[in-house]
Amino acid sequence: MKDDPQTAKPMFDTEKKCEFERDPKTFIEKTIRDYVASSPANRLECFGGDPIFEPPIVGYADGDDPIFEQFKEVVHEDHLTPREILANSRTDVRGMEAPVAGAVSVVALALPYNKETLRVNALEKEGPSLRWNHTRWKGQEFNDELLRHVISVLEGIGIAAVAPDQTPYFRIVRPPEPLASTWSHRHMAFAAGLGTFSLNDGFITPKGIGVRCNSFVINAKLEPSGRPYAGHLANCAFYAKGTCGVCISRCPGNAISKEGHDKLQCLKVLHVHQKPWLEGEHGPGYIGTYAGCGLCQTGVPCATQIPGL
Ligand code: B12
Ligand code: SF4
Ligand code: SF4
């Protein structure tokens, strides 16, 4: 949004508003893609400025889809519905009145990792490469910035939108409760037709499991993408065909078995077994509060595709 030179107040961008009304999904996707392509924050400074992420895939869900109520059972009782998070943040953050009038939609994104990052992490056996570690932390910073940008563009044309994990309503649910959160991006991506879960819990999209996920809620009607799969585990070869299981042996800490993903064991690998990576024992330069692992998302048949396609 531009500033009015007379008043220094932001000017309403009528041209952009018309563009949104003509084709809201194209408008949103163009805003996302342009930022992914041009933002210096989507760059691995220490690796020659390579992009952290390739262009994302985007999916849409109706915010009143009954599946969001089901997520209160399969994720956590405090998991928010899209309408709840929009109403909460409008009331508290902007002093507006809940409940939200009009249609509510979810926009979900899957951002594929740079191919070189996938390649080098696939060579690792015990812990993450430096490039994966930087992708984990710089990539999340970029993800947050991307949504702040998209939301400010939408607000500039009078459309309310919120990034739930950047509000005070977001929290990670920690032990002794089962690990979860009050806004799970992967469940949003599932609802928006981007893919399914897997043996190791990772989310497999048509661009593979080698993606970071993100999602936001918007006070507008966007045609839902539909869910082109038979169930919540359909894209994983282990469940779909009884084959594969490669991620079991990729895991350096025995957190994956034929019974699935042991989240507490995975947490222990991230924070305890892989502490030496943060302490410089595998070379200098590791950042963040844990090194990042991700061995089950690289060097696996589902890394860049739905396996078997
Ligand atoms: C808490 C958390 C963790 C915890 C717990 C992970 C977990 N499985 O929940 C720990 C610390 C173990 C963890 C580890 C990692 N994480 Co993490 N984590 C999160 C966080 C913050 C919340 C996840 C959450 O809410 N889970 C909720 C629980 C309930 O999910 P779930 O058990 O997988 O869901 C199952 C049930 O719902 C069940 N189910 C049963 N019935 C039904 C019915 C229906 C209809 C459906 C849909 C499902 C369903 O199926 C699901 C799969 O088994 C998200 C960010 C976010 N806000 O979403 C990132 C996130 C999940 N992590 C991510 C990553 C990359 C990692 C790590 C590689 C570490 C790293 N480098 O960051 C490892 C990989 C672990 C793995 N194999 O998945 C990515 C996943 C990307 C992907 N392609 O899947 C996310 C989405 C972050 C992001 N922004 O991209 N993580
Ligand atoms: S490696 Fe194989 S078993 Fe593991 S998640 Fe990918 S497709 Fe499923
Ligand atoms: S992130 Fe690492 S420790 Fe956790 S399940 Fe995947 S391979 Fe195992």
- The residue ranges of every structural domain in the chain are 14-297
CA distance 211 to 98: 34
Q: What is the position in ligand 3's atom list of the atom closest to the CA of 200? A: 5
pLDDT of 8: 53
56: cis peptide before it, omega within 30°?
Answer: no
Q: How far is the CA of 297 from the centre of ligand 2 (A)?
A: 9
What are 227-230's contacts with CB under 8 Å, separation 24+? 227/190, 227/191, 227/193, 228/193, 229/195, 229/196
Chain centre to alpha carbon of residue 256: 22
Q: What is the pLDDT of residues 54-107, one digit of tens each?
A: 999 999 999 999 999 999 999 999 999 999 999 988 765 455 555 678 999 999
pLDDT of 98: 58
Below-70 pLDDT ranges, the chain: 1-11, 91-99, 309
Mean pLDDT, rounded, of the chain: 94
What token pair was written down for 144? 């947050």
pLDDT of 309: 59
Q: What is the position in ligand 2's atom list of the atom closest to the CA of 245? A: 3
pLDDT of 1: 46
CA distance 291 to 293: 6
CB 193 within 8 A of CB 110: no
pLDDT of 137: 98
CA distance 286 to 171: 26
Q: How far is the CA of 38 from the centre of ligand 3 (A)?
A: 32
Q: Is 235 left (phi over 0), alpha (psi -120 to 50) or beta?
A: alpha
Q: What is the position in ligand 2's atom list of the atom closest to the CA of 202? A: 5
The pick from 106, 166, 186 for probing ligand 1's pocket by mutation, whose C-beta has the most ligand atoms within 8 angstroms, reads 186
